Structure 1
Amino acid sequence: MTRRTVVADTRSFRSDIQGLRALAVGLVILAHAGFRTASGGFIGVDVFFVISGFLIIGLLLREAGESGRISILDFYARRARRVIPAATIVLVATAVASAYVLPLVRGAEVIKDSVWAAFFAANIRFSLVETDYFSQGEPPSPVQHYWSLSVEEQFYIVIPLLLLAVAVVVRRRAGEAAEADRVRVLRRTVFVVLAAVTLSSLAWSIHVTATSPTGAYFSTAARAWELGIGGLAATLVWGRAPRLGRWATEAVLAVGLALIAFATLRFDAQTAVPGSAALVPVLGSALMLAAGSTTGASSTYLFRLFSIAPARVVGDWSYSLYLWHFPVLRLCEEYWEEPRLSKPHLAVALVLIFALSAASYHLVEQPFRKGVRWRPRLRAITLYPVSLAMVVVTAVGAHAWVDGQIAALEDNPGIAVSDYGRDGLSKDPTVALVEASVLAAQDDRPVPGGLEPALGSVRESVAPLGDCDYRTGTRKLCAFGDPDAERTIALMGDSHARHWSPAIDAIGREHGYRVYVFVYSGCPAITFTRLTDGGRPWTECADFKEWALGQVRELHPDLVVLANNAYQSAAMKKRQVGALRDQLELLRPLAGKVAMIGDSPKLPKAPGTCISERDVDLGDCLQEPETGPTRIQGQFRQTVEDLGMTWVDARRWFCAEDRCPAVIGNVVPLRDREHVTVEYSTLLADPIAAALGIAEG
């Protein structure tokens, strides 16, 4: 996103591109601020990608055409001056503000996110933790929008080197040819190479968007074609101003704008992007950029509309606006405890966004871009390590402050059944501890110290799968429990089966069972296969379930244990109970015994997040489970019992009389709103073994 926009052939200032930038950042802010009429405003990022590809590849082409080469050091020096200073300031400010404003658990996560973002790897971070960009459960990270900056910078690691190679080859082969001929060959060669990269990326994007939407959203490989489309448009107009009459140009601009408007108004969180759907705003942006390069462009109404002074100012500030808007909106929502800001608070947030952006543009962006101090390229390149050092030092300090706040809880006592006597409590010690923990919350006792898992690592308490994480495509068999045992247990299901795997592993080790864990997040062990977010068949899930069933057939385990989430979509509500019955019937002849573990409760707020808020006690975090999943789990139970199979009622180990404590004894039972921590799952090994008939109760 360079500030002075240059047309490749004339080098004249393109004021209309500043207006297009203003439109893109405006759409993104409207979408993230919650304006329903701009539900597809997130496509502003796609518009930015096309603009970036058009400008950056256009500048590299011009350099290659003039000198026959590309200076990689000069390129990265320009990127450093342009991108790093403002991005660093916002990261540092956001890390500090998050440590102070957010609950301690979330603040610690944002600090980690900031470090990843400083390495231009935010997209990798959010893809690895399987962040859902449109998730309504947990608020997104205030620096989640840095994923797009990471995609750009990763793209620009490869493309300059590729274009340099093309330029060198063309220069050597052209020899003494006339400059015009060399430029023509360079344009043609670059177009072919860039088209190959773009089409490959587009094909991959369509595939991976259908099979792994979250991963595709953050993927550089799945997004590169958007920058490539911009680069192809720049290649076509480079070195010439295409002749097109005023009204023809007006029509092309109007079509491009209409495509962007259509995507803004019709796309929403369910739209499968960045696959084929993203072609709509991407092609619209490319048409507007190409049309603005024609001879008749400057006289058109739309060109002049996008060139008016307010649009140019917002376009100038667009980079800072993009950086500041998301953390300000997210932290304001947290500060005012509003999932969606009220109109007065939104107005305050927008004023703050524009004020910070104006200051950032004038005091940070411009001095680094235009000041003589950072003009030498080697000095500019040092901005990379300086930025990393600043963010890492800030992160270490902020994390130490968070750890200090958590350490202040250490002297608070844990919860024991003996605190409330035995009268009135269950004779089952595990259930009695839950009941005592509910009483402790009703007494507003402080959050205990010595929590397991530690409060700062609650979200990381995910059951390990070793080499058998089947989401990676592997088809290995991993023996957990007692690998040398003759008896066998097979655990099947989705992520809600995965969170029971530490308990089943412990049972196997204690009672002499080999344990095989056939789990795949989001893919329940039923005969009906969910569709992807784009509405396509989820073939990876179907293929895995067919393979897993074949493995169970060969193993013929002594016990098969199922556990599934209760899905709330219309299709799953209609089909999942009957499909569970069919699955259980399939498994009956393949195992000595079939059982199902009921689900953990789904709570309004993650326990770890709640107890890490400031000035809260256990009573503030005593919650009631959501009724929808509870009702569906009841249908699961009826199905299992009707078939004469074993149902394990897990709800009693989390809640008493529909009151679910955030801490049970000194253990945090859930890592988020519904998934069991490794520590609590392991703690429940003995009661689960008793419920399954493996051990005495």
Structure 2
Amino acid sequence: MTVLTTAGAAREDESSSAAAVVRRADLDGLRALAIALVVVYHVWVGRVSGGVDVFLFLSAFFLTGSFLRRMERRESLRLGSYWARRFSSLVPAAAATILGVVTITALVYPPERWRAVWNEAVGSIFYVQNRVLADSAVDYYARSDQTSPLQHFWSLAVQGQVFLLWPILLAVAALIVSRTRLSPAAAVSTIFATVFAASFAYSVVITPISQQTAYFDTGARLWEFALGSLIAVLVTRVTLPAVWRPIAVAVGLVGIVSCGAVLDVEGAFPGWVALWPVASAALVVMGGTGRTQPAASRMLSSAPMLWLARISYALYLGHWPVLITWGVVTDATRPGLFTGGVLIGISLLLAWAMTRLLIEPVDAALRRRGTAARVIAIVVSVVLVVAPVLTWRHLQTTGSTELGPEHPGASAVLTGEVTAQFDEPPRPSAADLAWPWFEPGKDCRDDLAGAQETCFHLAGSDADSFRVAVVGNSHSQQWGGVLEPLALEQGWDLFVLAAGGCPVGLDDDGTRPPGVCASWREVVMESLATIRPDLIVTVGSASSPSTTDEHVSAGLDRAIQQMQELTGADVLVLRDNPRFEFDMYECGEQADTVSECEVPLVDVQAETNPLAEFDAWDAVSTVDLTPLVCPEGVCRPVVGNIRVYFDDNHLTIDYVRSMSWAISEMIPS
């Protein structure tokens, strides 16, 4: 959505020319209708309305119309001044909202949700929240699918990116006009028709393939903005016949209101079906032209609609955190009619207060002080978000591989302190647990052939360093942590090539869709041939939750042979850790006594290690660290003051690191 009303667009033009711009109050009302649909659908329906698509369309309509008028008057576009005005009107309110969410998160949200809010707070203030959400939406490793109180910033991120791009495209159009005989309207139409065609085609293709990613993808949304720009050109040159204008507005309004009820907006957009709300908005715009407005357009121009339009930006910012925080506090999923009304009332009150006490005063003050003051306001707003978020994250996360005497972990097996009491709380903290995956060094996907799902490289001390490659699924990835302390100490090159749900065995096991793991393994084999590791480490078995069933990964024998033929490396095959039908971490957090979570090892692991057959292979060794995972024959949530599991089947990085001493002598040299 856009904070700039049609009146605001007029003010921008009047600031550079005495020419008056006719205000379309009905379009203010259209924005108010869109925000009303967004809020109502979010609170009471639990679906997406399509109102956001109307916002995107209108923001480009206003922007392009303003620039087009300047081009036609041969005025300078003053891009820097535009960006300063636009973002100084958006960022302070966004920063206030983000800070409010961060504060409420610290007070009432469980610690395991903090890290997501930290990441999304920074992503939101820098207008890249859509990318943050797109990455997490398809993340196999995502630990939780809990809705973020900052999720709604995705559309503001897309819009902010367009506010940066569109003036550049319009400047290109102005350059074309200055060098050719094309009119401003023709140049603008040509550029945005091209953007529309390319983006629409991309959106139609990518949405069925990866809808969750496409939903947040700026490239798949640009056509909605482009259509708004094309209508901005068309509306100044074409007026519908009087008899058709009321019909166009009525059809458009019905289309906008009915969109969310008829279509699965969240599940099907932004492919071709997103034409529904965008084309409907275009009908309302076109139908509202002319000296006499249709009755429906006059309704949009009514005082209540204009008041709602005035607070629409603040209402969009605030309603979602209010709804999500209510769910966190009450542990409920959907408010009833009365509760939903209360939540909407609170959101309206907060929106009015933010508009009256922050947005309007700041905008008025900055308008008197010029561009430099606007830039300062933007920078200060960003710093006010980033500084406390980074400070809080630093204070709440350890970020250290050093465990210390208060956190012996698996070393407690040697000292008899498996269940001893310590003065410090267990590691990792709940905040660290929010992203528990082992990711050493730097991302190496761009350095090796193809694109691995997970690729990390902890560089060695020199070019001749001992090279270790950890390969396999998430259970293999977690065991990379047992090698990290050794790699740091001895200067090894450590690579982690992993894909959730893809064991290294050459046969698919049904965990991922057919062909996904096979394609990944082909890329991994190419990468191993490039890396030429001295040692390859992988998990070779798979246990079943809360049973003694355990089997060798299908095709493991052929995978080992292929890896050795490609690299000549030794292979270390680890036995899988026990898995459970309950979340071991949550049990340890919520149980009255730790004993409620304890499980005898004999109940969750096969009596005989199924990997024993590989001990007879040349240059292949098998390792079973289960006695350290479940010491004394009992699987516990905490051992040696370190949390062993972070869910029902994965080990924490801290605990895996604490076992490093036990594997050092097993590494071939």
TM-score (norm 1): 0.71
Aligned to 1:52: 59
Q: Distance in 1 between matches of 2:108 and 2:423?
A: 22
2:639 match: secondary structure: coil
Aligned: 1:240 with 2:204: no
The 1:549–1:261 alpha-carbon spacing in structure 2 relative to 1, beyond 3 Å, is farther
1:548 paired to 2:524:
yes
Task: Pick from 142, 147, 150 the counterpart of residue 143 of structure 1.
Answer: 150
| Larger relative contact order (CA 8 Å, sep ≥ 6) | 1
Of 107, 113, 118, which aligns to 2:125?
A: 118
Q: Does the CA-based 8 Å contact 1:463-1:502 persist in structure 2?
A: yes
Q: In the alignment, what sits opposite 1:587?
A: 559
Letter in 2 for 1:502: G
Q: What's 2:224 paired with?
A: 226
SS at match of 1:561: strand
Query: Within 5 A, what are the aligned runs for 1:603-622?
Result: 607=585, 619=592
- Structure 2: how far apart are the matches of 1:251 and 1:134? 48
**What code does the residue aligned with 2:538 have?**
V
**1:558 and 1:591 in contact (8 A); partners too:** no
Residue 101 of structure 2 is matched in structure 1 by 94
Q: CA deviation at 1:198?
A: 3.4
Q: Which moved more, 1:493-502 or 1:212-221?
A: 212-221
1:380 aligns with 2:364: no
- Which residue in the other structure is 1:498 paired with? 477
Q: Is the 8 A contact 1:211 1:539 kept in 2?
A: no
AA partner of residue 576 (structure 2): G
Shift of 1:356: 0.5
Residues 482-517 of structure 1 show CA distances to partners (whole Å, capped at 9, x for unaligned) of: 999999976443444322222356689999999764
Distance 2:507 2:424 in 1: 45
In structure 1, what residue type is equivalent to 2:48?
G
Summarize the Cα distance change of 1:540–1:151 in structure 2 as closer, same or farther, 3 Å threshold: farther
Write the distance in 1 (CA, Å) between the matches of 2:198 and 2:205: 11
Root-mean-square deviation (CA, aligned residues, Å) is: 5.4
**Distance (whole Å) between structure 1 residues aligned to residue 405 and residue 467 of structure 2:** 43
Deviations 1:467-496 (A, max 9, x none): 664499844998889999999976443444
Match of 1:261 among 246, 255, 258: 258
Is the alpha carbon distance of 1:606 and 1:126 closer, same or farther for their aligned partners in structure 2, counting shifts above 3 Å? farther
Change in CA separation of 1:353 and 1:263 when aligned onto 2, cut-off 3 Å: closer
8 Å Cα contact 2:32/2:312 also seen in 1: yes
1:598 aligns with 2:576: yes
1:98 positional shift: 2.0
Q: Secondary structure at the match of 2:148?
A: coil
C-alpha contact 2:29 2:309 (8 A) present in aligned 1: yes
Residues in 2 aligned to 1:602 and 1:246: alpha-carbon distance in whole angstroms: 69
Give the 3 Å change call, closer, same or farther, for CA 404–252 of structure 1 in structure 2: closer
Separation (CA, whole Å) in 1 of partners of 2:489 and 2:216: 42
Q: How does 1:319-330 map to 2 (within 5 A)?
A: 319-330=313-324
The code of the aligned residue for 2:104 comes to A
For residues 292 and 520 of structure 2, the distance between their equivalents in structure 1, rounded to whole angstroms, comes to 54
AA matched with 1:590: Q
Instruction: Kindly provide the amino acid, as one letter, of the partner of residue 189 in structure 1.
Output: A
| 2:499 corresponds to | 520
CA distance in structure 2 between the partners assigned to 1:218 and 1:472 by the alignment: 27
Contact 1:4 1:13 in 2 (8 A): no
Distance 2:225 2:136 in 1: 25
Alignment-derived partner of residue 572 in structure 1: none
**Equivalent-residue separation in structure 2 for 1:113 and 1:479 (angstroms):** 26
SS for the counterpart of 1:243 is coil
- Comparing 206-215 with 284-293, greater Cα deviation is found at 206-215
* Contact residue 15 and residue 307 of structure 1 kept, 8 A: yes
Q: 1:417 to 1:369 in 2, by over 3 A?
A: closer
1:324 deviation in Å?
0.6
Counterpart of 1:462 (choices 420, 425, 437) is 437
Where do 1:262-277 residues align within 5 Å?
Answer: 262-267=259-264, 271=267, 273-274=269-270, 276=271
2:79 aligned with 1:72: yes
Structure 1 residues 506 and 415, CA gap change in structure 2 (3 angstroms): closer
1:112-152 Cα distance to aligned partner (Å, 9 max, x none): 54344333343444456668699892534322322322222
Aligned match for 2:193, one of 167, 192, 195? 195
Aligned to 2:110: 103
Choose the corresponding residue for 1:356, options 347, 350, 360: 350
Output the CA distance in 1 between the equivalents of 2:634 and 2:538: 26
Measured against aligned partners, the alpha-carbon deviations of 1:387-441 in whole angstroms (never above 9, x if no partner) come to 12433455467668x65999xxx9996688999xxxxxxxx769x87xx55xx7x
Counting only pairs closer than 5 Å after superposition, residues 128-139 of structure 1 correspond to structure 2 as: 137-139=144-146
Which residue number corresponds to residue 425 of structure 1?
Answer: none
Asked whether 1:287 is paired with 2:273, we answer no
Is 1:299 the equivalent of 2:307? Answer: no
Moved more, 71-80 or 593-602: 593-602
Aligned partner of residue 151 in structure 2, secondary structure: coil
- Partners of 2:66 and 2:160 lie apart in 1 by 16
Amino acid at match of 1:545: R
2:522 maps to a residue whose letter is E
Work out the CA distance in 1 between the residues paired with 2:392 and 2:559. 51
Q: Does 1:677 align with 2:652?
A: yes
Matched, 1:24 2:34: yes
Deviations 1:139-176 (A, max 9, x none): 343223223222222221222122123214313545xx
Aligned residue for 2:171? 164
Aligned CA distance change for structure 1 residues 506 and 118 (closer, same or farther; 3 Å): closer
2:193 is aligned with what amino acid? A
Displacement after TM superposition at 1:373 (Å): 5.9
Residue by residue over 1:252-307, the C-alpha shift from the partner in whole angstroms, topping out at 9 and shown as x without a partner, is 752674377345543265x2544x25634454345335433444983254x35544
Deviates further, 45-54 or 113-122: 113-122
1:400-411 → structure 2 map (5 Å cutoff)? none
Give deviations 1:510-555, integer Å, cap 9, x for gaps: 99999764313465657559999xxxx8987653333335667998
Instruction: Judge conservation of contact 2:474–2:499 (CA < 8 Å) in 1.
Output: yes
Moved more, 457-466 or 586-595: 586-595
The CA distance in 2 between the partners of 1:141 and 1:398, in whole Å, is: 18
SS class of match (1:363): helix
Tell me, what secondary structure is at the counterpart of 1:681? helix
Q: Which residue of 35, 48, 54 maps to 1:40?
A: 48
Equivalent residues of 1:96, 1:394 under 8 A apart: no
Alignment size in residue pairs: 629
More moved, 69-78 vs 349-358: 69-78
Q: CA deviation at 1:230?
A: 1.7
Q: Which amino acid aligns with 1:352?
A: I
Match of 1:13, SS? Answer: coil
Q: Which moves more between the two structures, 222-231 or 390-399?
A: 390-399
Q: Is the 8 A contact 1:69 1:168 kept in 2?
A: no
> For the Cα contact (< 8 Å) 1:256–1:286, is it kept in 2?
yes
Whether the 8 Å contact between 2:249 and 2:287 is mirrored in structure 1 is no
